[in-house]
Amino acid sequence: MKTTLFDDAMRRLNTAMKYTDLDDEVALRVGTPKSCLEVSVPVRRDDGSLDFFRGYRVRHDDTRGPTKGGLRYHPSVSLDEVKSLAFWMTFKCAVVGIPYGGAKGGISVDAKSLSPMELERLSRGFIRLVADFIGPDVDIPAPDMYTNERIMGWMMDEYSTIRRQHVPAVITGKPVSMGGSVGRSDATGRGAYYCIRELAKKHDLDPASTTVAIQGFGNAGQHVARLLHKDGYRIVAISDSQGAIYRPEGFDIPSLIRTKEETRHVQAVYCDGALCTSIDADTLTNEELLELDVDILVPAALENQITEENAERIKAKYIVEVANGPITSAADEILNANEIEVVPDILANAGGVTVSYFEWLQNRSGEYWELQTVHKKLQTIMSREFKRIYDLHLEIKTDMRTAAYVHAIKRIGETMEAKGTCSYFSKSK
């Protein structure tokens, strides 16, 4: 039977609970979303016709603070998917210790089929329907797949119109000119990069002799590649949805990024100074990229890429999950048995939500930070939580994913216990 993202998440929660002495009620409460809203958004098309699009917002858990999570526009968006992703956000926020619970939302739509004006009507229409469900102290959306800073700007503007006041903190990932934070656009890639730096310290990895393969060359993948390349790591394979390229000597990442921007494809180009020449690079499939014999594999594209089908063939020593859920729980068992160390998504890609938190703080105080301040604060959080989870995985003799879940559930559970659980109330009878 095919396991869903939610099944995987629940399995990981139940495993983590075994490493704590938290009341069972904690797992019960975290296993159930707090509230789910389903809406139908009417959109007047450019030709005058009317269409409806199904939208969702799920607030999973607000034990530690207002809920936080992205909004995605994709035809596959469903209530079940949004619930699973909201659950994940609860753990991600707890892993990095920011005072939020998890949420997620989305609209079932092929965003590419809409004109810019239809997209604006859809985004503003969605906010009109969910305005009573969100708010800077309640639930704070952010961009996700096929949504971007312009859409976040429209949404903040619509919410402010409804409330008759300027409310920038209702949404993060806005354009900097509308209250967005500097350093937000590369925050996910940068957060993963800080994790890799910590991983390298733990294992004495020398960048020049460390090979890296990156699946996915979008926002997150490109920034990890750029930062690692700057430190001298050898990025030997890169892919996008069209396929992968491989060059054992390593690629010049800035020129690949330029080529991708100009042609929308990754092509094999090598630049030395201003001189760029096409070079021989082997072409691989995305499946072959995952199975390369490299030191670090970075899945930065889609979920469910490493499954029980291919896990046995993975040769990388370390995997840093920049994508959400690229490894299934069945594959985890095989990778653990083969001693492949995985830096889990709820830690490795938490840089984005962390800088979203910084944006919210800046919006609330009205004081805006320099780029260096954002980088420094992000590095402090990512490095600190990486080390805590790394030490915990050694202490409780488990893999880093389980340790990350244990770390998160302890934070969530302590807050729940402070409010009182069965073990407290039954004793006070």
Catalytic residues: 104
**What backbone phi and psi angles, to 5 degrees, belong to 347?**
-100, -50
90 binding ligand NAD? (CB under 6 A)? no
**Considering only residues 139-198, where is the footprint of ligand NAD by CB under 6 A?**
188
Total site size for ligand NAD, rule CB under 6 A: 20
Residue 85: CB minimum distance to ligand NAD, A? 9
Which CB atom, from 255 or from 415, has the smaller least distance to ligand NAD? 255
Rounded to a whole number of angstroms, the minimum distance from the CB of residue 219 to ligand NAD is 4
Stretch that binds ligand NAD, among 32-40, 111-119, 237-245, 382-390 (CB under 6 A): 237-245
Select from 62, 240, 332, 385 the one that contacts ligand NAD (CB under 6 A): 240
- Whether 344 contacts 188, CB under 8 Å: no
Encoding tokens for residue 304?
Answer: 């469910």
Which is closer to ligand NAD, CB of 344 or CB of 352?
352
Spatial CA neighbour of 59 closest among 85, 77, 40: 85
Q: In the bound complex, what is the minimum distance in angstroms from residue 33's beta carbon to ligand NAD?
A: 19
Dihedral sign from CA coordinates of 375, 381, 386, 387: positive
Q: Which of 66, 125, 221, 344 binds ligand NAD (CB under 6 A)?
A: 221
CA distances from 37 to 57, 126, 169, 248, 332 (A): 5, 11, 21, 50, 33
Q: Are 91 and 102 in contact (CB under 8 A)?
A: yes
Minimum distance between the CB of residue 73 and ligand NAD, rounded to whole angstroms? 12
CB of 95 to ligand NAD, least distance (A): 13
Lookup: tokens for 292: 């390369």
Q: Check if the beta carbon of residue 191 is closer than 8 Å to that of residue 382.
A: yes
d(CA 408, CA 397): 17
Residues 305-334 that bind ligand NAD (CB under 6 A): 322-324
CA distance 130 to 418: 31
Which of 20, 78, 160, 219 lies at the binding interface for ligand NAD (CB under 6 A)?
219
Toward ligand NAD, which CB reaches closer, 175 or 218? Answer: 218
Piece in contact with ligand NAD (CB under 6 A), picked from 7-15, 40-48, 299-307, 384-392: 299-307
- Candidates 205, 300, 334, 389: give the one binding ligand NAD (CB under 6 A): 300
- 354 forms part of the interface with ligand NAD (CB under 6 A): no
Residues 251-270 that bind ligand NAD (CB under 6 A): none
Q: Is 217 in the site for ligand NAD (CB under 6 A)?
A: yes
10 binds ligand NAD (CB under 6 A): no
> How near is the Cβ of 118 to ligand NAD at its closest, in Å?
21
We find the least distance from the C-beta atom of residue 220 to ligand NAD, in angstroms, to be 4
Nearer CB in complex with ligand NAD: 286/421: 286
Among 172, 286, 354, 402, binds ligand NAD (CB under 6 A): 286
Binding part of the chain for ligand NAD, among 163-171, 209-217, 371-379, 416-424 by CB under 6 A, reads 209-217
Site for ligand NAD contains 106 (CB under 6 A): no
Considering beta carbons, is residue 113 or 426 the nearer one to ligand NAD?
Answer: 113
Q: Is 349 in the site for ligand NAD (CB under 6 A)?
A: yes
Min dist CB 158 to ligand NAD, Å, is 22
* Residue 287 binds to ligand NAD (criterion: CB under 6 A): no
The residues of the shown chain that bind ligand NAD, judged by CB under 6 A, are: 188, 215-221, 239-241, 286, 300-302, 322-324, 349, 352
